[in-house]
Amino acid sequence: MQKQEKIIEMFNQIAPTYDKSNRILSFGMDINWRKKACERVLNLYLKQDLNIIDVACGTGDMIEIWQKSALKLKKNINTIKGIDPSKVMLEIAKQRFKDLEFIEAKAQNLPLELENADIVSISYGIRNVMQRQEALREFSRILKKDGILLVLEFTRREKKGFIAFFRDFYLKNILPFIGGLISKNKEAYKYLPNSIDEFLSQEEFVKELEDVDFKVLELKDFSFGISSMFIAQKV
């Protein structure tokens, strides 16, 4: 089995406990990071009526936050679609949002029309995409001109220090233990810190975005650099 297929199967296995694990393992901070990111994009992008695509949507956490943020900021979401390669994740998402469209597909091969979306988001999913450059080109293809790409991710730390040491210790020692207890799949939660180590630094990911003709508008750290937010515009 190829690495990409193994990752998808891993998410199928942990899907039933995925949301609970996220809340516990991040101490609820992941919800705050998502809220801040969605609200920042909606304030930055002045169009009132929006078509949003959430890639690697999982069970739909980001979709719910897009909806609540749009309501709060008096923006209208015409359509919002969730895309994920994990069948089991999507089954849970469909139960949460019975009136929305969900598509089983990989980020590097999106079954969507050219210049279809105002906003594309992917939260904590891009490092799991083996064909990352192809995925970024797909995001550009489906975005309208001047459309916005929002990426939330755990990037590789370049600087050392107390925060970096604490994050790495937590990810490599505590997270696999707790995640394994909740999901009964310790290997899946060993994968997380390994995937961060194998991912890019902030600067490297900015260059990848620029290489496929995105202009990075904002790069922000959340919680002392634990999480990174990239807001980029299609040019």
Which pLDDT score, from 0 to 100, does residue 33 have? 94
Total domain count, the chain: 1
Closest-CA residue to 106 (of 81, 128, 79): 128
* Tokens matching residue 141: 């293809």
* 84 assigned to a ligand binding site: yes
Q: What is the CATH number of the domain that holds 74?
A: 3.40.50.150
Which pLDDT score, from 0 to 100, does residue 146 have? 96
pLDDT by 10s per residue, the chain, length 235: 588 999 999 999 988 888 887 777 677 789 999 999 999 999 999 999 999 999 999 999 999 999 999 999 999 999 999 999 999 999 999 999 999 999 999 999 999 999 999 999 999 999 999 999 999 999 999 999 999 999 999 898 776 777 777 777 777 778 778 877 877 887 887 887 788 888 999 999 999 999 998 999 999 998 877 889 999 999 9
Closest-CA residue to 58 (of 3, 107, 5): 107
- Beta-sheet pairing, 227-234 with 76-84: unpaired
Tell me how far apart the alpha carbons of residues 108 and 152 are, in angstroms, rounded to a whole number.
Answer: 17
Tell me how far apart the alpha carbons of residues 22 and 131 are, in angstroms, rounded to a whole number.
Answer: 25
What domain range includes position 188? 3-234
- The structure tokens 């450059």 sit at 133
Within a 13 Å sphere around the CA of 75, how many CA atoms are in the beta-carbon half?
27
* 123 assigned to a ligand binding site: yes
* Tokens matching residue 146: 């001047």
Which are the contacts of 74, defined by CB distance < 8 A and separation ≥ 6? none
Which pLDDT score, from 0 to 100, does residue 159 have? 67
Which are the contacts of 33, defined by CB distance < 8 A and separation ≥ 6? 152, 222, 223, 227, 229
* DSSP class of 157: P
DSSP reduced 3-state for 100: coil
Which pLDDT score, from 0 to 100, does residue 180 have? 78
Which are the contacts of 80, defined by CB distance < 8 A and separation ≥ 6? 51, 52, 53, 54, 63, 66, 67, 100
* 221 assigned to a ligand binding site: no
For residue 232, count other CB atoms closer than 10 A to its CB.
27
